Homo-oligomer: A and B are copies of this chain.
Amino acid sequence: MATEKDPESLLKLKLRRVIFGTDTPAGRYFDISLMICIVMSVLIVFLDTVAKVHERYGDIIVVLEWCFTVIFTIEYILRLYCSAKPLSYARSFYGVVDLLSVLPSYLALFFPGANFTLVIRILRLFRIFRVLKLLRYLSEGNLLLRAMMQSGRKVFIFFFSVSLIVVVLSAIMYVVEGPNNGFSSIPKSIYWTIVTITTVGYGDITPQTPLGQAIAAFTMLLGYSIIAIPTGILTAEISQEIGRSRDLRRCSNCLKVGHDPNALYCDHCGSELESEL
């Protein structure tokens, strides 16, 4: 690659470092300004749904939206152009997301109709995929993810058991309270049970009979106490992850592991620890 000397290749290389890379000042500036653009374009879509804002600033918002659409289109073309393997970029998750974040605006031009305003609004919401681009800028959170992966199986069993309890309680509440008190069907009763067991408690459906209130109270106490289980599982896993990431050095004399990261000597036998892990 060092032997390629035609100017186009050099331009591509430079662009690639700026657009895909994050190790040069220019690359970092590009990423930060892109992030600001993404957040602002999403904010504009959101504010446009407020009736008052749409009335007063509707025109400016349309202009701003087209600006962002053009910016993101240019960015997408540049990415395709300077990528080492354009096709594999276009097929990658972020390639698709990048395309989806500019397409809606163009589609709205070619498919106008009676229900034009609504359609364009729904299409606009696909822009939310722009937000997902932000994830690209995250390289932290691995510890969290690993702890969640490891507790995944236990959490699945937990949610499976909770589902069974929810289903049983929903059926009982449907029989006890009945359609007259808002429990018009078992699916609605399931909705109520989830609202209650997660301690959200909207209050749009509430038990009216004494027996229903007793079962509701039991459901709440259950939700209140089983909230402890996923917390307990995850806490234990995170503790393990933190403890493990603390130090991997094993004392060559007494074989002890789990030293303090600042330790110079083994705290059990007093022999020196090697600095490389």
Mark A residues whose CB is within 8 Å of B.
Answer: 42, 45-47, 49-51, 121-122, 125, 128, 131-132, 134-135, 138, 140-141, 143-144, 147-148, 153-155, 157-161, 164, 167-168, 171-172, 174-175, 184-188, 190-191, 194-204, 206, 210, 213-214, 216-217, 220-221, 223-225, 227-243, 246, 254-272, 275
CA distance in complex: A191, B172 (Å):
18
Flag if A195 contacts B201 (CB, 8 Å).
yes
Residues of B within 8 A of A269 (CB): 264-265
Flag if B268 contacts A45 (CB, 8 Å).
no
Q: Of B160, B195, B220, B264, which is within 8 A of A270 by CB?
A: B264
Q: Of B141, B155, B168, B206, which is within 8 A of A154 by CB?
A: B141
Flag if A257 contacts B262 (CB, 8 Å).
yes
Flag if A270 contacts B268 (CB, 8 Å).
no
Copies in the complex: 4
Among A198, A221, A235, which residue has the most Cβ atoms of chain B within 10 A?
A198
Flag if A263 contacts B267 (CB, 8 Å).
yes
CA distance in complex: A202, B192 (Å):
11
Given that A42-B167, A239-B239 are contacting pairs, would A200 and B220 also be in contact in the complex, using a CB cutoff of 8 Å?
yes
Given that A216-B191, A225-B155, A234-B232 are contacting pairs, would A261 and B258 also be in contact in the complex, using a CB cutoff of 8 Å?
yes
- Excluding A202-B206, A232-B238, A263-B267, 20 further A-B contacts by CB distance (< 8 Å) are A45-B186, A46-B171, A47-B187, A49-B185, A50-B185, A50-B188, A143-B154, A197-B224, A198-B223, A202-B202, A204-B206, A231-B235, A235-B238, A236-B242, A237-B242, A260-B260, A260-B267, A263-B268, A265-B267, A266-B267
